[in-house]
Structure 1
Amino acid sequence: MATEQTIGFIGFGAMASRMAAHLVKAGYKALAYTPSGKGGDGSVPFLPTPAEVARQADIVLVCVPDDEALSASMYGPTGALAGMTANGLLLNTSSVSPEAALSLYDAGKALGIAVVDCPVSGSTPEADSAALVVLAGGDTQALAQAKPVFDAIGRLTVQAGPAGSGARLKLVINGIMGAGLTALAEAVAYGLAAGLERDMLFGALDEMAVISPHHKRKLRMAQAGDFSPQFPARLMQKDMRLLMDAAAREAVPAPTLAAATQQLSLARRAAADSDYAALIGIMENIAANDV
């Protein structure tokens, strides 16, 4: 049980708000900042700048969508680093590029602040049930300091390696997710165009061991035509874009992932704020219009 420590959230969207609920239950206090300035219902006070949040927090947890949002909320006179003191702990749960994660680590180190890149694997259902997998990169002492927080929000913490390793591992995992969903969407479209009965097809796929539990959940969403965002298409496509850039930096050929990125760009263009499973519905519509 935490003893009166305060966690300051930078970004308080679908994932961070669920993390906060578990951390409050574990005994922490919480306060937050969002770029929109919206939020705060009394239970979690909202402050006007990241620096103000950092000044009042023992631990800062940032959960923002991309490199640009991370930079805007961390640096400068109103950024979180400006409000933190030496020996502080900053947990970066954002899914960002390894370069952005390392830049934040270096900036924190120069100020005596421990920074851990710790994106999470899992969507809103896992966040609801505190069953996230935390992918942590950083120094051993900082990881030990962060362990009570990770234990409150997740079922497992993977110590991925030194700073930047959590960000790299997250790209690997999300690349597999994105490519798997793309393959499903194209295969389902073929089955429907070839005349297979819709409910039979979706039901049969739900029984197949070759399809992951995560992707079975996406198939059930597609069968019901409900693409309420658990993982929005705009964020999935962003992660694929980051992976393609990272792979190119390492001169790793990734043609399958490149093709999946193009399909997920279609999903983002057509349904940015819907779940990325919307790609299955898009492909179904193409198939239906072709028969």
Structure 2
Amino acid sequence: MPQLSPANTPRIGFIGFGAMASRMGAHLRTAGYTITAYTPSGKSPDPAVAMLPSPKALAEQADVVIACVPDDEALAASMYGADGTLAGMKRGSVLINTSSVSPEATSELLEAGKKAGVTVIDAPVSGSTPEAQSGTLVVLAGGSEEDVTNAAPIFDAIGKITIHTGPSGSGARLKLVINGIMGAGLAALAEAVGYGLAAGLDRSMLFDALDQVAVISPHHKRKLKAAKEGDFAPQFPARLMQKDMRLLLDAAAREAVPVPTLAATTQQLSLTRRLSPNEDYSSLIRVMEHTVANDG
């Protein structure tokens, strides 16, 4: 199979075309690819991108399909059945799954792709909407070395680096590791901020001081700055972060790995999701602020 460059693979179809996918699509269009999309609502944030009426219809017109859906259920609904993506894909074509889904859903899609004669690469991305906007995502690609190399022009258009994580399924597993660290780090930050405020530290001083210390990652510093201003616009919605934490807990339990810190974080994010599902997951900081403000 030749490399999937604009010269020989000009048509890319997106299954799911929300905040992340639409930004990835913009970079692919700049690189010379033609983009179409399918969403259950039939709506697109980019009016220049043609919307197709079903996953099958999209797959029939695409050289490569990129799936970018929120969870296992959405992946299954769009991939399988008479109107599903796999029903419309040609033998020898390529399906790149950038969705953050469970290892089990990833394996199921790989096996279904094999039966359909379709190459499936699991390639979730590390980064939120700012990285998708700037084209600096980190692509976590699971598959054979040949398949990942052939897809490099697509990955290079949307990200700053591609990590070949190993055989199919490895990308999905690494994404859970990364998001677990991200979620637990934010939870620790929110709890520490809660203590500082309850102990009487000036709020502005506290937030500004934490922005200067090396122990907090650049990602979490960005969340802290936004929280200081009360800005919880959804770069990574709480409902999706809580979903990823839930998937990680299940995956760890299957391997008999104890993860008490991640379990506690998942409970905090479950509360955050219930209170503000479509705001950024960093709204957990606001939850802690309100908790200490209302104490006693």
Question: What's the counterpart of residue 271 of structure 1?
Answer: 276
Partner SS for 1:181: helix
Contact 1:135 1:160 in 2 (8 A): yes
Residues 56-75 of structure 1 mapped to structure 2, 5 A cutoff: 56-75=61-80
Contact 1:54 1:81 in 2 (8 A): yes
Change beyond 3 A, Cα 1:42–1:283: closer
Matched, 1:28 2:27: no
Question: Structure 1 CA distance, aligned partners of 2:129 and 2:67?
Answer: 17
Partner SS for 2:91: coil
Question: Structure 2 CA distance, aligned partners of 1:194 and 1:236?
Answer: 29
Contact 1:40 1:46 in 2 (8 A): no
Question: Structure 1 CA distance, aligned partners of 2:244 and 2:40?
Answer: 21
Change beyond 3 A, Cα 1:111–1:158: same
Question: What's the counterpart of residue 163 of structure 2?
Answer: 158
Equivalent in 8, 17, 21 of residue 13 of structure 2: 8
Question: What's the counterpart of residue 146 of structure 1?
Answer: 151
Contact 1:8 1:32 in 2 (8 A): yes
Question: Structure 2 CA distance, aligned partners of 1:81 and 1:215?
Answer: 38
Partner SS for 1:225: coil
**Per-residue deviation, 1:146:** 1.1
Contact 2:22 2:46 in 1 (8 A): no
Question: What's the counterpart of residue 94 of structure 1?
Answer: 99
Partner SS for 1:290: coil
Equivalent in 224, 227, 233 of residue 228 of structure 1: 233
Question: What's the counterpart of residue 120 of structure 2?
Answer: 115
Matched, 1:243 2:248: yes
> Unmatched 5+ residue regions in structure 1?
none
**Per-residue deviation, 1:112:** 1.4
How many pairs align? 291
**Per-residue deviation, 1:41:** 5.4
Question: Structure 2 CA distance, aligned partners of 1:162 and 1:110?
Answer: 18
**Per-residue deviation, 1:97:** 0.2
Deviations 1:260-283 (A, max 9, x none): 000010110110000000000110
Matched, 1:288 2:293: yes
**Per-residue deviation, 1:209:** 0.2
Question: Structure 2 CA distance, aligned partners of 1:19 and 1:41?
Answer: 11
Equivalent in 210, 216, 219 of residue 211 of structure 1: 216
Question: Structure 1 CA distance, aligned partners of 2:217 and 2:227?
Answer: 15
- Please give the TM-score of this superposition, normalised by the length of structure 2: 0.97
Deviations 1:228-273 (A, max 9, x none): 0000000000000000000000000000000000001011011000
Residues 69-84 of structure 1 mapped to structure 2, 5 A cutoff: 69-84=74-89
**Per-residue deviation, 1:190:** 0.5
Return structure 1 stretches of 4+ with deviation > 3 angstroms: none
Question: What's the counterpart of residue 130 of structure 1?
Answer: 135
Question: Structure 1 CA distance, aligned partners of 2:244 and 2:14?
Answer: 22
**Per-residue deviation, 1:40:** 7.1
**Per-residue deviation, 1:169:** 0.1
RMSD (CA atoms)? 1.0
